[in-house]
């Protein structure tokens, strides 16, 4: 990747002030792109992009993607949607609207501009999987009426819309399915396991594990995730996805808790609570397609990524 690969290209990132979006904006600016960061600041934060505001190629806009947007850009990354259970279950109807109406509005804009558009989908489209690890051709095992359905089904419907726009209108699309991602700028109270464990450990509070701790997740450091997204966007129009982007390393919740305790030097006890409804028992991406197409695979080991994330949380949130 050369620094000037995107020189002069106008790129819009919806959800650009969020955890993933802010890192993506940084990388696009480093390429020489003009970047329009669009966010309604429900879960995103101005602080995540404050260090970018002096860059003459960077612009922010407060906007909710459930309403149409009329701008002129060359590429669109559609990341707008609350992504943690605490946030997406706060207003489940609005979560579904963000995924579905947001996709319709961004696809309509892309169609008018004939702009390449990438949808940030999720491993949640696989639900509580009966196939392990999860390849892209697995259709999933999702409860369509459960408390997580606003996010799971909203993202599934967004994928449907993307592929129908591609088939019906010839729109150049990219669909990535993002697996658990972590790193600096995560929201400290988003309920996701990495931020939960780190904040609890740094504050000396009990580490909360739901269920017996044997359920697994695969954790991808944010820099690796963004690199995969950028490489996929750079591919030709014939490559639409869906494409898994994540780290195939698989860890139980107990293993993660023990790593966080060791890396923070915390003596917090571990406590167990009831497993939430429809919480997946295992999650691990099959990234064979990404490796073959993009020559990509994660580079940051979990211990190293956790150490960077802990340092951020310690400096930013713990006095």
pLDDT at 5: 66
pLDDT in tens, 147-198: 999 999 999 999 999 999 999 999 999 999 999 999 999 998 888 899 999 9
Report yes or no on 113 lying in a domain.
yes
pLDDT at 2: 42
Q: Considering the entire predicted model, what is its pTM?
A: 0.94
Report yes or no on 23 lying in a domain.
yes
In sequence order, the β-bridge partners of residue 11 are 35, 75
Report yes or no on 263 lying in a domain.
no
Q: What amino acid positions are annotated as catalytic residues?
A: 151
Rounded average pLDDT over 221-243: 98
Give the helix ranges, DSSP H, for 31-91.
Answer: 46-49, 85-88
Report yes or no on 271 lying in a domain.
no
Report yes or no on 60 lying in a domain.
yes
Cα Dmax for the chain? 57
Q: How confident is the model at residue 256 (pLDDT cuts 50, 70, 90)?
A: very high
> What is the phi/psi pair of residue 200, to 5°?
-65, -40
User: What is the CATH classification number for the domain harbouring 95?
Assistant: 3.40.50.720
Report yes or no on 275 lying in a domain.
no
pLDDT at 7: 74
- Bond preceding residue 133 cis, omega within 30 of 0: yes
Number of domains in the chain: 1
Please check whether residue 141 is in contact with residue 129, taking contact to mean a CB–CB distance below 8 angstroms.
Answer: yes
Report yes or no on 242 lying in a domain.
yes
pLDDT at 86: 77
Its domain, for residue 241, covers 10-186+221-248+284-300
pLDDT at 3: 43
pLDDT in tens, 60-77: 999 999 999 999 999 999
Secondary structure E strands in the chain: 10-14, 34-39, 58-62, 75-78, 116-122, 173-178, 181-182, 207-210, 216-217, 220-221, 243-245, 251-252, 270-273
Report yes or no on 198 lying in a domain.
no
């Amino acid at each position: 990747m050369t620094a000037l690969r995107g020189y002069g290209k106008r790129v819009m990132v919806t959800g650009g002030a969020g955890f993933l979006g802010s890192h993506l904006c940084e990388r696009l600016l480093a390429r020489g792109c003009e970047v329009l960061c669009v966010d309604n600041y429900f879960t995103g934060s101005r602080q995540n992009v404050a260090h970018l505001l002096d860059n003459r190629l960077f612009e922010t806009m407060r906007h909710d993607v459930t309403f149409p947007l009329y701008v002129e850009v060359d590429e669109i990354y559609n990341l707008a949607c609350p992504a943690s259970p605490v946030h997406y279950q706060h207003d489940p109807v609005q979560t579904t609207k963000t995924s579905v109406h947001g996709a319709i509005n961004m696809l309509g804009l892309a169609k008018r501009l004939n702009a390449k558009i990438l949808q940030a989908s999720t491993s949640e489209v696989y639900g509580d999987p009966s196939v392990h690890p999860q390849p892209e051709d697995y259709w999933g095992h999702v409860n369509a009426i459960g408390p997580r359905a606003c996010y799971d089904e909203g993202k599934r419907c967004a994928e449907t819309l993307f592929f129908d726009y591609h088939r019906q209108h010839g729109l150049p699309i990219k669909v990535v399915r993002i697996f658990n991602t972590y790193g600096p700028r995560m929201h400290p109270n988003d309920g996701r396991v990495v931020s939960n464990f780190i904040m609890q450990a740094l504050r000396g509070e009990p580490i909360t594990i739901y269920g017996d701790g044997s359920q697994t997740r695969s954790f991808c450091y944010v820099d690796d995730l963004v690199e995969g997204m950028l490489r996929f966007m750079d591919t030709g129009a014939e490559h639409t996805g869906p494409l898994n982007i994540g780290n195939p390393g698989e860890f139980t919740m107990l293993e993660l808790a023990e790593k966080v305790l060791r890396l923070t030097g915390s003596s917090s006890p571990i406590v167990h609570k009831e497993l939430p409804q429809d919480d997946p028992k295992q999650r691990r991406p099959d990234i064979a397609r990404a490796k073959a197409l993009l020559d990509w695979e994660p580079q940051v080991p979990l211990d190293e990524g956790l150490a960077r994330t802990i340092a951020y949380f310690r400096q930013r949130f713990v006095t």
